[in-house]
Amino acid sequence: MKGEKHISTWVSGTVKERFAAIARSREISESALLRKIVEQALMLSDARETTTSADAERTLRTARLSVRLEADDHASLRLRAAERCIPAATYVSMLVRAHLRSQPPLPTQELTALRGSVTELSGIGRILSQRMRGAESGHDLRSGDLEAILRACEGLRDHVRLLIHSNLESWRSGDAKANR
């Protein structure tokens, strides 16, 4: 191992036994476990020192975390991720980010579609309002029909807004079915 240096420390017998048990449970050597711990500590230290730099963001974005789940929790995770049409790891990442930043996630594709719908409905509503004003001033349009269409568009707009709100709430509660 050319160029690598050795680190060692002294610990109590109890600490040594516990450390060895952890290494055995992960099916790696004590040395490999210690190396992972040191590397993670350094990465965490680097992340804290450079949280504002773009390099730190790239480093943190590629950071990996392993989590062991009970079989039924893993099944629930896969189901919830599938309901959102995203990979389970992405779902967990979004939940963690939402919890740490207190910002419920809305997948980009869902948010773009919902915002686009609200924008379209608002545009249709403006056009219909203009047409309705034109009909009131003597043009050949039935204002009753236009009012009905305008009410329908406003209802759709309000429904999409509620859908966005429900979606955000489902991320807070963890129930994707709440937004359907």
- Within this chain, do residues 93 and 138 fall inside the same structural domain, yes or no? no
Show the tokens assigned to 86. Answer: 């995203």
Tell me the three state secondary structure of residue 87: coil
Domain count within the chain: 3
pTM for this model (two decimals)? 0.37
Show the tokens assigned to 125. Answer: 């509503």
Tell me the three state secondary structure of residue 98: helix
Measured between alpha carbons, how far is 165 from 111 in angstroms, rounded to an integer?
Answer: 11
| Mean local confidence (pLDDT), 32-39 | 84
Instruction: Let me know if residue 4 belongs to a domain.
Output: no
Q: Domain limits at 74?
A: 65-103
Residue 174 pLDDT > 50: yes
| Mean local confidence (pLDDT), 55-71 | 73
- Within this chain, do residues 90 and 138 fall inside the same structural domain, yes or no? no
Instruction: Let me know if residue 1 belongs to a domain.
Output: no
- Within this chain, do residues 113 and 164 fall inside the same structural domain, yes or no? yes
Angle at 16 between CA 14 and CA 22, to 5 degrees: 105
CB 105 within 8 A of CB 179: no
- Within this chain, do residues 99 and 113 fall inside the same structural domain, yes or no? no
Residue 12 pLDDT > 70: yes
DSSP state of 28: S
